[in-house]
A and B are shown apart, each in its own frame.
Chain A
């Protein structure tokens, strides 16, 4: 990927977010954050939620209509801002800190650079594992001009997956001229940088210390692989955006707990910040099912373990408000698909099992040790209501991960009398999400006597650990999703075969490249991927069965086979250095 592509995506993201950022700045309460940079960062996240919500809801009917509406939203935003500034009572009530923390700005820039490095050094990438289906969903919006009901053309089952991030990718692709996979992949460094800035904001608000915030930001930016440095590897952009929204919610709760007047749920629901938090919760429901579930669990823990009536009231207000705002989306999204739950992998998901040691390694031993040291420091400086909220965020993720990874698996083994073992709700992602609360709490280490006494030594060790981790992450992710020969083969299919052709093969990103119905489409766990309309294709054995099906239906079938496997006795239609395409309906000698 070229640096110019990332720059185009960054400008387009700014254009996408700007109208809602401006509206937020105009109508939100002016009591916090206390710095210009803090308000801009929080406003950008709210703006991201705004564009995701507005674009998704409009694109259910028409995506081109949203492209026109966006300009109108920009005009509305400017009008709001002018209206706001003409009212003297709405001006900044207290002077804002205008100086930008240059250290954290450097951390944010380097974090974006580290996340962009695998893209810049590795060639034209289609993306990590999950990008296989994310690219399809984004491209569908561009091709069909709306969200679309089914996974056509790659599969004929309904789409259950949230489409907030895909609409954003389609929007960026439409306004910048880049392809959707470029938009998807270039968003990793940009969203990653925003995540770092928000973690810094929470750290500063939590410990009333810039040093603590810087350490939180650096720990998050450069140490954990899961939940931070390796998002690109597995294509987890919706998770990254969902966690960004959740982090902003926690930031608001931490700030609100300090400044909001005491009062019950109703009084909190009367504050604008509670509704901003609620809006972000609802936006999560449009971005990522899993992140929404995690947000709901975290807020439930936050309410259950609130250390003050004020914290309980504000957490409950944000959660209840989020549930109210998200309920129409949830009802329309889930109600229609409840009958198909058995054909998804939500409750029977098969992924490699994880020990706590695996998590320790994937989260980075230095990160976990720093976290443990930070917990000891917080014990000394005191667990107030805000810090207990973040600890409950950690406890919520840890206990949910343990339940689904060990208890659920053991139960599945017992209930099937030892014949099968599976898990549910993808517990590995809950362990992935642990990086966020852990990083925030890591900031407390900067308040410890040891850190203060040996600051230079501790910083040097941390910098070395960060450099080693980042180097490994860059090297490990460089070249991921770079499949020029598969893309060429897919392009040949797109340009030379009838639209109703069926492609047999399991090569990565084949669905997106070929844009045809596939025998093994990559679908997420939430989709009805065990539906009979898909399962039969996986059970077909050999060219003879496919030839018979082709004759019966009159549809052409193409085998896409890597050259390393023995060639089937079929007509060779196309070949490049890695991949050969065979047409099933014609047999005979391979084409010279």
Chain B
């Protein structure tokens, strides 16, 4: 049970990191476009 759960958990982490990486790259590539939405906290 432990090994199977561990694999699933790592899958969640890897998918989250992959999505985060894609999102980060998109934020950098479209920095100028996204700047129009840049706001301070609030």
Contacts and interface: CB of A to CB of B under 8 A. Distances in A.
Interface in B24-42: 24, 26-28, 34, 37-42
Interface in A94-132: 129
B25 to A, nearest CB: 8
Given A345-B42, A350-B42, A356-B20, A399 B12 contact: yes
A15 B38 CA distance: 45
A383 B3 CA distance: 8
A392 B22 contact: no
Nearest to B35: A353
Contact of B24 (A357, A384, A525): A357
B13 A398 contact: yes
B12 to A, nearest CB: 5
Interface string A364-389: 00000000000000000001110010
Contact of A307 (B6, B17, B26, B42): B6
B24 A356 contact: yes
A53 interface: no
A482 interface: no
A427 B40 CA distance: 15
A388 B2 contact: yes
A150 interface: no
Contacts of B39: 350-352
Interface stretch (A30-38, A404-412, A560-568): A404-412
A398 B6 contact: no
B37 A399 contact: no
A428 to B, nearest CB: 9
Contact of B19 (A352, A355, A395, A406): A406
Given A395-B13, A395-B16, A402-B16, A307 B5 contact: yes
Interface residues of B, number: 27
A505 B17 CA distance: 42
A420 interface: yes
Residue from B15, B21, B37, B40 whose CB has the most chain A CB atoms within 10 Å: B37
A388 B19 CA distance: 22
A129 B41 contact: yes
Contacts of B28: 355
A420 B5 contact: no
Interface in A391-405: 391-392, 394-395, 398-399, 401-402, 405
A9 interface: no
A385 B4 CA distance: 12
B37 A421 contact: yes
Given A351-B41, A398-B17, A399-B16, A410 B5 contact: no
A385 B2 contact: yes
Nearest to B42: A350
Contacts of B17: 356, 398, 402
A525 B15 CA distance: 29
A422 B34 CA distance: 11
Contact of B23 (A385, A405, A422): A405
A516 to B, nearest CB: 21
Nearest to B36: A421
Contacts of A351: 39, 41-42
B2 to A, nearest CB: 4
B27 A384 contact: no
Contacts of B37: 350, 420-422
A320 B38 CA distance: 40
5 contacts: A350-B42, A351-B42, A405-B23, A406-B20, A406-B24
The 3 closest A-B pairs by CB, nearest first: A406-B23, A355-B24, A421-B37
Given A350-B39, A395-B16, A421-B37, 10 more contacts: A306-B5, A308-B2, A345-B42, A355-B27, A356-B24, A405-B23, A406-B19, A407-B19, A410-B23, A410-B26
